[in-house]
Structure 1
Amino acid sequence: MEYVEILKALGESTRLKIFEMLQNGQLCACKILEQLHITQPTLSHHMKILCDCGLVKAEKDWKWTYYSIDCEKLQGLILFLNHTKCMQTKK
């Protein structure tokens, strides 16, 4: 399953917070650090997981790294989830 790693990545609260922050657009790692109050090595760990699963893209600009959601990958996940049939049981 290609979406297992994305779902696992979003299953951790700090990474879910980072994803929520990125929903508003591209962010520099420094802005993420300011809002989460975590160390740089901890952020790097979380960003590696989000990037490795394909949900987040990283762009280097000199000494800064900017992160954004990979919309194509996210759309694939949304389509996958939309194809799930939910059945309600009658009482």
Structure 2
Amino acid sequence: MKKYVEIFKALSDENRLKILLMLTYGELCANDIQEQLELTQPTISHHMKVLQKADLIRLDRRGKWMYYAINSQKAHELCKLVQEITTVCEARGCGSSQDCYNQQMKKE
């Protein structure tokens, strides 16, 4: 569960959500992100560190430039979690909410 807490903390900022949406179109360097969001380089760097800590982005250093991309594996895990959260227990065939909770906790 703790890994999801970091993810949701990272997603709780408007600029970080904008960055992730920008990255859905493909990888970008920090300069591209900075220009589009009109933020300072230190601010972009901070947001990227938070996203990296949550494992939501991948980094690729090319010379002096750093390129960022969505970590698709983590994005799929997050989608699966949101789907589980929004699926009614009866649809899962658990029998009761307590059974659903117990099954989920065993997975963690």
Answer whether TM exceeds 0.5 for this pair.
yes
Q: Separation in 2 of the partners of 1:55 and 1:49? A: 9
Distance 2:31 2:88 in 1: 41
Q: 1:16 maps to which residue?
A: 17
Three-state SS of the structure 2 residue aligned to 1:38 is: coil
Match of 2:35 in 1: 34
CA offset digits 1:55-90 (Å, max 9, x no partner) = 011111010000000000110111111112258xxx
Higher helix share: 2
Q: Pick the structure with greater CA Rg.
A: 2
Opposite residue 39 of structure 1, the aligned amino acid is: T
Structure 1 segments, 4+ long, off by >4 Å, are none
> 2:37 & 2:88 partners in 1: Cα distance?
35
Q: CA RMSD in A?
A: 1.2
Aligned mates of 1:70, 1:53 — CA distance in 2: 10
For 2:46 and 2:88, locate their aligned partners in 1 and report how far apart those are by CA, in whole Å: 35
Higher RCO, Cα 8 Å, sep 6+: 1
- Counterpart of 1:83 in 2: which secondary structure? helix
Unpaired runs of 5+ in structure 1? none
Amino acid at match of 2:35: E
> How many residue pairs were aligned?
87
Unaligned runs of 5+ in 2: 90-108
Alpha-carbon separation, structure 1, partners of 2:82 and 2:26:
23
